[in-house]
Amino acid sequence: MNQLSDTFGRTHNYLRISLTEKCNLRCTYCMPEEGIPLKPKAHFMTSDEVVGIAKEFVALGTDKIRLTGGEPLLRKDFSEILYQLAQLPVELTLTTNGVLLDRFMEELVAAGVKSINISLDTLIPERFKTITRRSDFDRVQKNIELAQKNEIRVKINVVLMRGVNDDEIIPFIRQTLSSDVEIRFIEFMPFEGNNWEWEKKISEKEILQTVFNHFGSENIQPQNIAPNATAREYKIKGAKGKFGIISTVTHPFCDTCNRIRLTADGKVKNCLFSSQETDLLSAYRNKELITPLIIQNIMQKEHSRGGLDMSKPELVQLHENRSMITIGG
């Protein structure tokens, strides 16, 4: 039985584990310009600790685990963690920038991973360099194809930003016409050090208007909303794939949220925007029980976006929070 309910009756069965704060890209919307201070290795969970803490969550009712980061594939012991977590009774999945996917494809297939989220914010190589400050566009493209060849379902995460890539909504959706891929447009969210401004995000409403204008509203088919979904999904009539919109800023899915996060330094975080963190790693190292800490953290979960009001631009007052790269998306 799942023991991870909060005061709003939401059950938490989906754990997102960040494996590292390091990354091989430098996405402007995620990584603060000045970088993030490097911490000693001892501050982060070892592979045994990741698996040990994950087992406690599974005992409480977690049945889905997503590995994220920073870039999870940068962990030298990624294969070991993947192998160990694959032994647990969970759906195991991954969010990655895709650069190193080719190195791990066989192991991911062997671990039973059926679906991967890959972040790619542009289809234009030069623009990829500007957004990520790195030149790995071709490798990411090839790795998306490689995952599909290996029958792994691919969802492509696209953070839309005004004046940066908002002219690529239609080119991305065109990819769904002939490929069984899901494009997920994410509203640009505010985090420590990412120069977010209200006007820079492209809202769900704007995205849909662009799509309606181009394809005609009669050709857009809304898909059923899965329980605990984070994206509203649509299909262009006759398309093989689909597209979705993750509208965390203008139209969030908090009512049915089932997610809980474990940061690479072993803190449990009940919402992307929450400033409440509970240190599980220290307790685990001291051989203390961590289940009461997990339950207590979930009971403190706010109804929506960690208590942040994003209904109007003037109300968005970020409270103390980490940068996205240290949370894990």
Interface with ligand SF4 (CB under 6 A): 23, 25-27, 30-31, 69-71, 97, 119, 325
Rule CB under 6 A: say whether 244 interacts with ligand SAM: no
DSSP per residue over 226-256, as a string? PTT-SSEEEEETT-SSEEEEE-TTTS--GGG
Q: Could you give the CA distance from residue 11 to residue 105 in angstroms, rounded to a whole number?
A: 32
Q: Are strands 267-269 and 232-236 parallel, antiparallel or unpaired?
A: unpaired
Q: Which is nearer to ligand SAM, 68 or 304 (CB)?
A: 68
H helix or E strand, kind and range, residue 182: strand 182-187
Q: Could you give the CA distance from residue 81 to residue 276 in angstroms, rounded to a whole number?
A: 27
Provide, rounded to whole angstroms, the least separation between the CB of residue 215 and ligand SF4: 29
Q: Which is nearer to ligand SF4, 70 or 266 (CB)?
A: 70
Q: Which is nearer to ligand SAM, 71 or 182 (CB)?
A: 71
- Measure the CA angle with vertex 271, ends 14 and 94; round to 5°: 40
Binder among 189, 202, 208, 236 for ligand SAM (CB under 6 A): 189
Provide, rounded to whole angstroms, the least separation between the CB of residue 7 and ligand SF4: 31
Provide, rounded to whole angstroms, the least separation between the CB of residue 223 and ligand SF4: 26
| Of 263, 285, 289, 282, nearest in space to 274 by CA | 263
Rule CB under 6 A: say whether 82 interacts with ligand SAM: no
Of ligand SAM, ligand SF4, none, which one does residue 186 interact with (CB within 5 to 8 Å by kind)? Answer: ligand SAM
Q: What share of the chain is helix, strand, coil (3-state, %, to 5)?
A: 35, 20, 45
Of ligand SAM, ligand SF4, none, which one does residue 156 interact with (CB within 5 to 8 Å by kind)? Answer: none
| Of 233, 238, 232, nearest in space to 219 by CA | 238
Q: Which is nearer to ligand SF4, 186 or 298 (CB)?
A: 186
Rule CB under 6 A: say whether 30 interacts with ligand SAM: yes
Q: Which is nearer to ligand SF4, 161 or 290 (CB)?
A: 161
Tokens of 46: 């070892």
Tokens of 6: 């909060």
Binder among 20, 62, 79, 97 for ligand SAM (CB under 6 A): 97
Q: Are strands 220-222 and 64-68 parallel, antiparallel or unpaired?
A: unpaired
Of ligand SAM, ligand SF4, none, which one does residue 31 interact with (CB within 5 to 8 Å by kind)? Answer: ligand SF4
Considering only residues 268 through 327, tell me which ones interact with ligand SAM, judged by CB under 6 A. 324-325
Instruction: Judge whether 317 and 182 are in contact, CB under 8 Å.
Output: no
Rule CB under 6 A: which residues touch ligand SAM? 23, 29-30, 68-69, 71, 95-97, 119, 157, 159, 186, 188-189, 191, 194, 324-325, 328-329
